[in-house]
Structure 1
Amino acid sequence: MEKPRFDRAESTDRPWTDQMPDQALLNLLPTNAETAGLPALTVPQEEGSPPEYPLELYRLYLANRGDIALTLDSQSMTLKKGQLLTLSPGEVVAFSEGQTLISLSFHHDFFCVRVQRDEVYCDGVVFNRLSGLPVVAFPETEHTIVEGRFHEMISILSNPSPFSHDRALNVLRALLLHAADYKSRATAAELHEAGKTKHLSPLVLQFQHLVEETFAQRKEATFYSEALGVTLSKLNRRVKDELGKSVMQAVNERLAIEARVALRSGKRSIKEVAFDLGFIDPLYFSRFFRKQFGRPPSQYFQSPVQNEA
């Protein structure tokens, strides 16, 4: 059977096992009711054309043999050798014929991708689509290490034991932390080359802390300047110099990331997520989401619960 090359938006219409070639994938970890029949963690045993992962899953694709031509949400691009493509649920990718790479997918309930101030390696860094492409570029000296993490997960899943789940989880966490490290370094280097301040000042650090504590309740730029005891123009200037964005861009980015995380789990409707994040009008929330991600939440990630707007 020829291996499919596209992610399918209608991936829940058939059982997963009916979609995949015989012996093509490993899915030896048990699923629970929360996964709705989707695999918790899947890693192809062999390199080759990427399998047909359901769009409800996170997906990682590593160009470990050479450059890869692909289309991401209708945008043509090339994944360079040593780069990692990191896709969130709902994002659609199509690979050109004959591409060879290594990949994996995992469900939100297997590894809960959350955003925390001191641990933003998931949505805040690795899977961030608010600025640029979801690509992590590793230096050549790291290629063997990154590829080895994929092969280590294959080995774990090929020899299941009572410890397989925790071992695989730790390897996935290590891979995401590794990706976050180098994506953060690349971002810092870009800011440095653009003449931005590399080290954050106490004022900007206080601003970040305040945003983390209040972004769902306070969305006015003046609130942050008044709370920090500075003029809005001064706060905007310092945040722009050190973070490369305005005060409101920083607040909206944090809000958008949280919105996407909440919607992605499929456990709350769009209306519930909007209210939880301080939006009185779900329609305004939908417009906000579309502005941030280019599509409304109803189209970003389809699920029976989320469509109850």
Structure 2
Amino acid sequence: MKEKIQKYDFKEGLPQEFEIIDFDFLFNEFSEEIKKPHRSEFYQILWFQKGKPTHLVDFNPIKIKQNSLLFINKNSVQLFDYKTRFKGKAILFTDNFFCKTTADTQFIRNSILFNDLLSISQINISNSIIETTFQQLKIESQNLKDNYQSDILRNDLRNLLLHSERERKKQGFIELKKDNNLELALLFKTLLDDNFVNHKKVSFYCQQMHLTPKRLNQATSKVFGKTPKNIIDSRVLLESKRLLAHTNESIKEIGFLLGFEEPTNFIKHFKKQTNKTPVEFRAEFNLA
């Protein structure tokens, strides 16, 4: 029987909200948890050193290449491939750990690794600097905590992300022009992720961003090729599919969780986007 999508916060009791763990440890200690769809309140860098599993992220099956890094944004629903043997490690970290300044927040928010607008970021490790930096992080994280450790880990992590971005751009990444339109589109996306349940009108986001609807539409159309309303509808639809596919919540309860006061409004919204009712979508997914 499916349950609610489990959401995991960062482990308590660590010196800081940063950790490097082996996949073997994950499968030994949390075998049941990672075999089910789950989401986390932290960023994940998954290093698949051996094996070629298929990793599922928000309905996207990702064919993993050996010795590659996969970058998972916080709150993405993912599922490990427990039928395929593979080895590797994972870096886990939170906003609280990394974002000590406004510049840090902007860096992680604008990173093409966690915010690739076209795909989930995966890079082949052909650069020994990335492996070396990963190992430096692991060694430092095992040292006793002192006044320098957090800053050293943050600096090494930033270097790992910068080297990874460089490699990503060499490996078929479609570059988006970095301008004010991109900044506004990414800010809108961040606000939407935090507020889509309670706020589904474009006017709310315009007020929060101090923009006219016309200016926001210009930005999202340039970057996403969609209007703000289209993007809001797509975000609501993604969460709808997550809950329909991975939980046993009733249609009424899912509608309520997504901010629809009446089940009929949720059903109409879902069918308008997919040409299917929520019941039809759930039945088709369960048969797949």
- More deviation, 82-91/50-59: 50-59
Q: Determine the structure 1 residue equivalent to 2:129.
A: 145
- Within the alignment, does 1:156 sit opposite 2:140 as a pair? yes
User: Where does 1:33-44 land on structure 2 (aligned, <5 Å)?
Assistant: 40-44=17-21
Distance 1:248 1:121, change over 3 A: same
Q: Determine the structure 2 residue equivalent to 1:168.
A: 153
- Within the alignment, does 1:9 sit opposite 2:11 as a pair? no
Q: Determine the structure 1 residue equivalent to 2:162.
A: 177
The structural deviation recorded for 1:129 is 7.1
Q: Which amino acid aligns with 2:223?
A: L
User: Where does 1:57-136 land on structure 2 (aligned, <5 Å)?
Assistant: 57-65=42-50, 67-73=51-57, 75-87=60-72, 88-89=74-75, 91-95=77-81, 96-112=83-99, 119-122=106-109, 125-128=112-115, 131-133=118-120, 135-136=121-122
Distance 1:176 1:63, change over 3 A: same
In structure 1, C-alpha distance between the alignment counterparts of 2:23 and 2:186, rounded to whole Å: 44
Distance 1:248 1:103, change over 3 A: same
* 2:45/2:91 contact within 8 Å kept: yes
The structural deviation recorded for 1:228 is 10
Q: Determine the structure 2 residue equivalent to 1:30.
A: 15
The structural deviation recorded for 1:166 is 1.6
Local SS of the residue matching 1:283:
coil
In structure 2, C-alpha distance between the alignment counterparts of 1:106 and 1:205, rounded to whole Å: 25
Unpaired runs of 5+ residues, structure 1, are 1-7, 17-26, 32-39, 193-197, 257-281, 293-309
Structure with the higher fraction of residues in helix conformation: 2
1:261-301 deviations in Å (ceiling 9; x for gaps):
xxxxxxxxxxxxxxxxxxxxx7269x7xx989xxxxxxxxx
Q: Determine the structure 1 residue equivalent to 2:252.
A: none
User: Where does 1:219-298 land on structure 2 (aligned, <5 Å)?
Assistant: 219=202, 243=223, 245-248=225-228, 283=259
1:106-132 deviations in Å (ceiling 9; x for gaps):
234222499979934446532237632
Local SS of the residue matching 1:160:
coil
TM value normalised by structure 2: 0.51
Q: Which amino acid aligns with 1:170?
A: N
In structure 1, C-alpha distance between the alignment counterparts of 2:44 and 2:151, rounded to whole Å: 19
1:217-266 deviations in Å (ceiling 9; x for gaps):
9936xx8xxx999xx7x9978975x535234379759x99xxxxxxxxxx
Distance 1:167 1:248, change over 3 A: same
Q: Which amino acid aligns with 1:9?
A: Q
In structure 2, C-alpha distance between the alignment counterparts of 1:104 and 1:209, rounded to whole Å: 24
Larger relative contact order, structure 1 or 2 (CA cutoff 8 Å, min sep 6): 2
* 1:62/1:147 contact within 8 Å kept: no
* 2:99/2:105 contact within 8 Å kept: no
Local SS of the residue matching 1:51:
helix
In structure 2, C-alpha distance between the alignment counterparts of 1:11 and 1:190, rounded to whole Å: 32
In structure 1, C-alpha distance between the alignment counterparts of 2:186 and 2:91, rounded to whole Å: 34
Q: Which amino acid aligns with 2:24?
A: S
* 1:136/1:179 contact within 8 Å kept: no
**CA RMSD, Structure 1 to Structure 2 (Å):** 5.5
Aligned residues: 219
Q: Which amino acid aligns with 2:91?
A: L
